[in-house]
Amino acid sequence: MENCDVLIVGGGPAGASCAWALRRAGLDVVVLDQAQFPRDKVCAGWITPPVLTALEIDPQDYGRDRVLQPITGFRIGLMGRPPADIQYRDTVSYGIRRCEFDDYLLQRSGARLFTGEPVHSLRREAGSWIVDDRFRTPMLVGAGGHTCPVARVLGAHPGGEPAVTAQEIEFLLPEGARAACAVQGEQPELYFCRDLAGYAWCFRKGDYLNIGLGRDDRQGLAPQVEAFLAFLGRERGVSRPPGRLRGHAYLLHGRGKRNLVADGALLVGDAASLAYPQSGEGIRPAVESGLLAAWTIIDARGDYGATRLAPYLRRLHKRFGRRVSLTAVIPASVRALVAPGLFSQPGLVRRFVLDHGFLHLTQNALAQSPTAER
């Protein structure tokens, strides 16, 4: 039996960020993940500058040997209608490849890594968690995404929750197709469904292209994906992807009813249903929740009862508040009625859809001092 101070299930951005902060405080941390890293993670893959700030990542250093595509604008519109080109003065986001970004965070965390090892069993015994009859720890962090085994132990039922479903693919553009592709790296393209229940994207990262479509329900996903691929080929010079789009699901913040805290356990990232409801973006909430969880664990000083871990919930509420998706409060018929008017006014689209819903420009980077986020 191996012992550690904290065991994290899941080595994505949430788990790796949590491990990084805990290791800096001197704790012995083990990270388990069923995937081998670098892994091929299905994700559009963009991050805003506050993510790099919170993790103390120098963009020039990171981008020296990895994809870090600056984003200075968006082409955005309603499907079937002319889009608008919206530009910013500065870099407002970056495109990353998850296979590179996740591996970078995990390797620099300083934790003891056990990858390619799925979790088979979890049980509580004498104030500790026993994982696969191999690891013993007083503190368990669930960072394994929507279907995280720690979330299941705390009562979650993946598959019975109102999750976003998406299909996407990322691939290297054939050399002969790069010039014909009209999609520009510094300007990702977003096309919203007419009922505003989801959107499609086409995002170029150097010579790589990421294409996908996600919806806040399961209605007509496959036909809309096919229609979008046809549009890209017809209007944007994008040949059909070399392979099938892969599906995945995740929970939006405010939609999940999961228990995030228990004796000796916390959930972070997608396991805690923290993706932004306006955009579905989950990397920033994953990173920030991982740091908030780490600071809560450090403050607990070895007493990991649910009461001592409760400040994590207050930190989450202070940071993310109560967010509601449009589909949860506005009927589809009303959304379809107002959507054309909204997307006909670039100023409103920039302010409410991009600045507020996607880029969160009014929210500062997570403070470097844990006490500031209490």
- How do residues 189-232 score in pLDDT, each as one tens digit? 999 998 888 999 999 998 999 999 998 876 778 899 999 999 99
Q: Are residues 32 and 100 located together in one domain of the fold?
A: yes
Q: Are residues 125 and 256 located together in one domain of the fold?
A: yes
Q: Are residues 30 and 173 located together in one domain of the fold?
A: no
Q: What are the residues facing 74 on neighbouring strands?
A: 86
Q: Are residues 228 and 315 located together in one domain of the fold?
A: no
Q: How many Å apart are CA 207 and CA 110, to the nearest integer?
A: 32
Q: Has this prediction a pTM greater than 0.85?
A: yes
For 181-215, letters b (16+ CB in 10 Å) and e give bebebbbbbbbbbebbbbbbbbbbbeebbbbbbbb
- How many domains in the chain? 2
**pLDDT at position 109:** 98
Last residue of a domain, one of 195, 222, 249: 249
Q: How many Å apart are CA 177 and CA 71, to the nearest integer?
A: 22
CB atoms within 10 A of CB 74: 27
Say yes or no to pLDDT of 89 above 90.
Answer: yes
Q: Are residues 40 and 151 located together in one domain of the fold?
A: yes
Q: Are residues 111 and 10 located together in one domain of the fold?
A: yes
In a domain, 364, yes or no: yes
In a domain, 342, yes or no: no
- Whole domain around residue 34: which residue ranges? 2-66+95-160+252-329+353-373
- How do residues 309-346 score in pLDDT, each as one tens digit? 999 999 999 998 866 555 656 777 788 888 888 899 99
Last residue of a domain, one of 192, 215, 249: 249
